Amino acid sequence: MVTSIDIGTLITRDLNLHGGRTIIAGTATSVRRIAALYKQGYSAEEIAANKPHLNASTNLCSTNLLSR
């Protein structure tokens, strides 16, 4: 079964955090940071393992958003 997730619920922007850059909703982790780790060769699962407040699905959405 395929589960659909609205990316708008996962990504947000807070002008008080990271200069208003996009962040993972409910955290202070920037989408840019997740994308940088991904580009360095880390898988979404590896990133999630090192950032327990995130999950692999959120990380994949972040990297997909920046690759557009």
pLDDT tens sequence across 18-60: 888 888 888 888 888 888 988 899 887 788 788 877 765 565 6
- Higher per-residue pLDDT: 53 or 16: 16
Task: List Cα–Cα distances, 54 to 3, 18, 45, 60, 62, in angstroms.
Answer: 18, 18, 10, 11, 11
Structural domains in the chain, CATH included, are 10-66 (1.10.10.10)
Burial class (CB in 10 A: 0-12, 13-18, 19+), 62: buried
Give the pLDDT score at 7.
Answer: 66
